[in-house]
Structure 1
Amino acid sequence: MPDIHIERTHTLGMKGARAAARKWIERAGEQFEIECDYTEGKARDVAQFTRPGIDGTLEVTADSLTLTAELGFLFSAFSDQISAKIARNIDEVLGTKPAEEEDDGYGKGWL
């Protein structure tokens, strides 16, 4: 069972969802050295990402984004905070919530 599971529905269509997913991946890569392999499919894209302490996938469809991630031992104690931050960042790239700039004590912009 994944430590983090976030699912968001949207009305962006596949093209818009791909753009939002790539935006999230780009930000995560720049800020946190996430390595990602992105595979486009006809009805579903899958991005597999990794960095020390976290491995996961982001599934992209025409009407949803689903992120699942496994956390390493050191990060698992902060899974609720990490999950909340990732959810806010996904909401931001989907355009469903404004960007938040608070520092939650774990570093601004966590994933």
Structure 2
Amino acid sequence: MSKIDIRHAHSLPMPQARKAIEEVARKLQDRFQVDYGWEGDTLNFTRSGIDGHIELQAQALHVHAKLGFLAAMFKDPIESEIKRVLQEKF
């Protein structure tokens, strides 16, 4: 099982950071067909072979995902897309 673990600092107010994370999730949904939903300050996302979350903190966020065997073949493009969108939004 492959994993993605990204920590990203930010200086946005929490409501604005939450909105930016929602945009990240929409891009992941469009590109990789993930389902997502909020649980407190954590956005959970999933699809067959992918299970992860984005934890929003006051000055940082943490992306963690577990990729199954088939999804692991797409680890690099998934991780690159997450990093690209985080740079764009934060």
- TM-score normalised to the size of structure 1? 0.70
Which 10-residue stretch deviates more, 17-26 or 30-39?
Answer: 30-39
Q: Distance in 2 between matches of 1:36 and 1:2?
A: 20
2:78 paired with 1:82: yes
* The structure with more radius of gyration: 1
Q: Does 1:5 align with 2:5?
A: yes
What whole-Å deviation, never above 9, does each CA across 1:23-66 have from its counterpart, x for those lacking one?
111222233321112023xxxx0111101221101001121111
Contact residue 2 and residue 69 of structure 2 kept, 8 A: no
Higher relative helix content: 2
TM-score, normalising length: structure 2 = 0.84
Aligned residue pairs: how many? 90
Q: Per residue, is there more strand in 1 or in 2?
A: 2
In structure 2, the partner of 1:15 is 15
Between the two proteins, what is the percent identity of the paired residues? 36
Q: Which runs of 5+ in 2 are unaligned?
A: none
Aligned CA RMSD, in angstroms, stands at 1.9
Instruction: Check the 8 A contact 1:17/1:61 in 2, yes or no.
Output: no
Any idea what SS the aligned residue of 2:5 has?
A: strand
Give SS of 2:58's match: coil
Higher RCO (CA < 8 A, seq sep 6+): 2
